[in-house]
């Protein structure tokens, strides 16, 4: 059960700042750098060398462009002996290999290690291949590395299961490459196969089956997004790259995956990466009623031929996507061929000596449209090979709903936080039973950073929230996705510029170490704020020396649930959230800044698991400035609680802070058990303002 409330908090009001009249004027300009790799060969099929930028004529949608730079990459074509290990590589062999590499080493200024080299990245989609296909792809990679790799080749090994991993950065050392390929975890990422809901689907004998279309959509988007992540890693290198994609087919589900498919191909074009798709299934002979890997289909379709037609159509569609990925990025697809290594050789031979040409597009519009490129050379007999165009960048106002959803997913996958929108977060915990804990999460966003728009004659602000909780092994255990449309009256909208908006949600988790990544986006401007927090839920059942207590919540406001601007969920007062009682919600102070003119509320729970009955406890709150005690409440004796297995004892304080001078303090909460000779202490800094 989850309760989500967004409310305007009234603490720490800050007057809106108007920019000074003599503020400097800012000018902004957009420049889109377009990089193309062009292979120029003569009548004899050999590369033409010695060309400069003046020898090429480049047009974009028929408009001539000025070539800013032109560089020639000369590649050796003849196979050579096994490259000898470098001295530094020999020294590194004595070190333990890292468990996971997450990035391709980018080029630094003056670094020429990739110059005149062919860059090939082997990408194994373990989530899209059954075990037998994983083995077949591994054998093909080993065959190419052993017998067909040339001195000009630099190869990287990448794999995708739950995330994209760089198993081996670009190297020409065959021993390292073979060792990495042979260490692939065969059988990894199984269980993500698409389930067909047509005449070819297996008859499981159940009376009702849940529709798998949503899972199929998510799974395909997940695979395409992983490819997009991989090409972005390769995009840190300026040279031409080839990503050799081993998969057992990839099938789009109507138009629902088109936004992610276009984003993936566009990212590949911008990163100068060509896909060479290899169908790891090889040459397949399908039995009319299916093979022994799945149950037989049921219904009349078995006898009319519709089952066989549906199976053939699904197989063809899975190959069509592999073909489209390759064709749209300047590569080729190897389909219906048992020699998978031939696909790697095909990718290798596609990169001969080439020119890197760059220009700044004369069309600065960020409209997201496809722009067709044409490159010509003065010799009409020469053959030029290059990509025929690219998709322009797109501003947020041009985003479709699918684009907006993909932007949030991409932002969630980024390793570094986005700081366009200011966001603060607080994570607490309260024990529910012997195993589970309720985790309230509160996010705070300054109202001045949110844009208001008039829609339908009313003031409103749109906020998107997305977040996920991962355990210490990187597995997602909980998530949240909400779109909040806050309608505001004229008076309230005027106050939004100086009042923060607070959003809260909650999860039920087990004890352990977790990482919460939370994103908020202003849906009017597209600005995103990311907050990443690591937190630990202790196992309070193992606490023996001290009194087990929950998190301590400090608040400056209690609101009636009827006054909430936005509420998700039908239940008016979920019992799982201890901050909601008697129809009122205690709003945690994320920044822990309090006003002297308002009361301060303190709430926590103590637990007496195993006790015959609820034992009286004594608690008090103290304020310290340095080593000096500035304020302390009278001891509060609590003898009542919730008669559950935990013997939960809630403790509430309401403090008037008028007599304290403004400044910084350390707030300490002390809980004492007079009979059991145990105690618990909690301390946090607070700021008191007039």
CATH code, domain with 628: 2.60.40.2550
393 within domain boundaries: no
CA distance linking residue 47 with residue 510, whole number of Å:
63
Instruction: Tell me the pLDDT of the chain averaged across its residues.
Output: 79
Q: Which of 352, 385, 420 is the last residue of a domain?
A: 352
94 within domain boundaries: no
Residues 147 and 272 both lie in one domain = yes
Residue range(s) defining the domain that contains residue 689:
592-690
Residue reference for tokens 């202790």: 538
579 within domain boundaries: no
Residues 83-96: what's their mean pLDDT? 46
Q: Would you say 243 and 274 are in contact if contact means Cβ atoms under 8 Å apart?
A: yes
309's CB contacts (< 8 A; 6+ apart) are: 199
Confidence of residue 73 (pLDDT cuts 50, 70, 90): confident
371 within domain boundaries: no
Residue 428's DSSP bridge partners are none
Residues 423 and 326 both lie in one domain = no
Residues 656 and 536 both lie in one domain = no
640 within domain boundaries: yes
391 within domain boundaries: no
Higher pLDDT, 305 or 689: 689
The CA-based diameter of the chain, rounded to the nearest angstrom, is 98
pLDDT tens for 253-271 read 666 677 788 888 888 888 8
Number of domains, the chain: 3
Provide the 10 A C-beta neighbour count for residue 258.
Answer: 12
Q: Which of 294, 322, 352 is the last residue of a domain?
A: 352
444 within domain boundaries: yes
Residues 535 and 619 both lie in one domain = no
Angle between helices 258-270 and 213-234 (to 10 degrees): 10
Residues 529 and 617 both lie in one domain = no
683 within domain boundaries: yes
Residues 131 and 266 both lie in one domain = yes
Residues 326 and 409 both lie in one domain = no
Backbone angle region of 189, left / alpha / beta, with phi > 0 → left and psi within -120 to 50 → alpha: left
Residues 535 and 659 both lie in one domain = no
Residues 503 and 649 both lie in one domain = no
pLDDT tens for 9-21 read 333 333 333 444 4
Higher pLDDT, 647 or 489: 647
> In 343-493, which ranges are E strands?
354-360, 370-377, 383-385, 389-391, 424-427, 430-431, 437-446, 453-455, 458-471, 476-488
Higher pLDDT, 469 or 287: 469
CA distance linking residue 326 with residue 242, whole number of Å:
10
Is the pTM higher than 0.85? The answer reads no
Residues 5 and 138 both lie in one domain = no
pLDDT tens for 371-408 read 899 999 988 888 888 878 887 878 888 887 777 877 88
Residues 223 and 119 both lie in one domain = yes
- Give me the CATH number covering residue 294: 3.40.50.410
- Give me the CATH number covering residue 507: 2.60.40.3880
Q: Where are the alpha helices (DSSP H) in 271-300?
A: none
Residues 326 and 455 both lie in one domain = no
């Amino acid at each position: 059960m989850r309760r989500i409330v967004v409310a305007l908090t009234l603490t720490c009001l800050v007057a809106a700042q108007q920019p000074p009249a003599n503020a400097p004027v800012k000018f902004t300009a957009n420049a889109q750098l377009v990089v193309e790799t062009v292979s120029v060969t003569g009548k004899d099929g050999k590369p033409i060398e010695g060309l400069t930028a003046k020898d090429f004529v480049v047009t974009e949608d028929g408009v001539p462009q000025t070539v800013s730079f032109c560089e020639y990459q000369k590649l050796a074509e003849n196979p050579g002996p096994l490259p000898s290990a470098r001295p530094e590589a020999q020294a590194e062999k004595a070190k333990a290999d890292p468990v996971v590499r997450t990035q391709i080493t980018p080029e630094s200024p003056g670094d020429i290690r990739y110059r005149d080299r062919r860059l090939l990245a082997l990408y194994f989609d373990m989530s899209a291949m059954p075990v037998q296909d994983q083995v077949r792809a591994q054998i093909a990679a080993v065959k190419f590395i052993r017998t067909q790799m040339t001195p000009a080749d630099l190869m990287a090994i990448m794999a995708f299961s739950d995330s994209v991993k760089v198993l081996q950065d670009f190297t020409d050392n065959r021993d390292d490459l073979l060792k990495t390929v042979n260490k692939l975890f065969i059988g990894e990422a199984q269980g993500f196969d698409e389930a067909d809901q047509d005449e070819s689907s297996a008859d499981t004998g159940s009376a009702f089956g849940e529709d798998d279309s949503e899972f199929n959509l998510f799974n395909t988007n997940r695979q395409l997004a992983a490819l997009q992540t991989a090409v972005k890693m390769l995009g840190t290198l300026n040279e031409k790259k080839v990503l050799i994609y081993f998969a057992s087919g990839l099938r789009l589900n109507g138009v629902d995956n088109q936004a992610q498919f276009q984003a993936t191909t566009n990212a590949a074009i911008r990163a100068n990466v060509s896909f060479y798709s290899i169908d790891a299934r090889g040459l397949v002979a399908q039995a009319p009623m299916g093979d022994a890997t799945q149950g037989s289909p049921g219904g009349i379709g078995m006898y009319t031929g519709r089952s066989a037609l549906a199976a053939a159509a699904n197989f063809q569609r899975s190959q069509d996507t592999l073909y489209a990925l390759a064709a749209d990025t300047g590569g080729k697809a190897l389909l219906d061929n048992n020699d998978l290594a031939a696909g790697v050789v095909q990718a290798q031979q596609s990169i001969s000596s080439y020119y890197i040409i760059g220009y700044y597009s004369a069309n600065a519009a960020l409209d997201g449209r496809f722009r067709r490129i044409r490159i010509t050379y003065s010799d009409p007999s020469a053959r030029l090979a290059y990509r025929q165009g690219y998709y322009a960048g797109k501003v947020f106002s041009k985003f479709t709903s699918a684009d907006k959803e993909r932007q949030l997913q991409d932002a969630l996958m980024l390793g570094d936080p986005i700081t366009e929108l200011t966001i603060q977060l607080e994570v607490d915990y309260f024990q529910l039973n012997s195993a589970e804990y309720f985790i309230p999460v509160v996010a705070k966003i300054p109202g001045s950073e949110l844009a208001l728009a008039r829609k339908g004659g009313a003031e409103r602000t749109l906020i998107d929230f997305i977040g996920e909780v991962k355990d210490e092994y990187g597995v997602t255990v909980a998530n949240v996705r909400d779109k909040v449309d806050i309608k505001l009256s004229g008076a309230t909208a005027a106050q939004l510029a100086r009042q923060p908006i607070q959003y809260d949600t909650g999860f039920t988790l087990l004890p352990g170490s977790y990482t919460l990544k939370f994103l908020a986006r202003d849906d009017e401007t597209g600005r995103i704020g990311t907050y990443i927090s690591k937190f630990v839920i202790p196992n309070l059942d193992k606490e023996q020396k001290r009194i087990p207590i929950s998190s301590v919540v400090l608040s400056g406001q209690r609101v009636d649930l009827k006054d909430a601007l936005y509420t998700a969920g039908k239940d008016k007062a979920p019992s799982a959230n201890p901050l909601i009682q008697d129809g009122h919600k205690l709003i945690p102070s994320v920044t822990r800044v309090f006003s002297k003119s308002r009361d301060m509320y303190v709430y926590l729970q103590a637990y007496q698991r195993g006790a015959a009955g609820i034992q009286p406890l004594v608690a008090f709150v103290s304020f310290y400035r340095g080593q000096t005690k500035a304020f302390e409440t009278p001891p509060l004796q609590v003898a009542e609680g919730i008669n559950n297995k935990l013997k939960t004892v809630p403790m509430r304080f309401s403090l008037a802070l008028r007599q304290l001078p403004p400044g910084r303090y350390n707030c300490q909460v002390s809980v004492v058990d007079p009979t059991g000779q145990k105690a618990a202490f909690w301390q946090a800094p607070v700021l008191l303002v007039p």
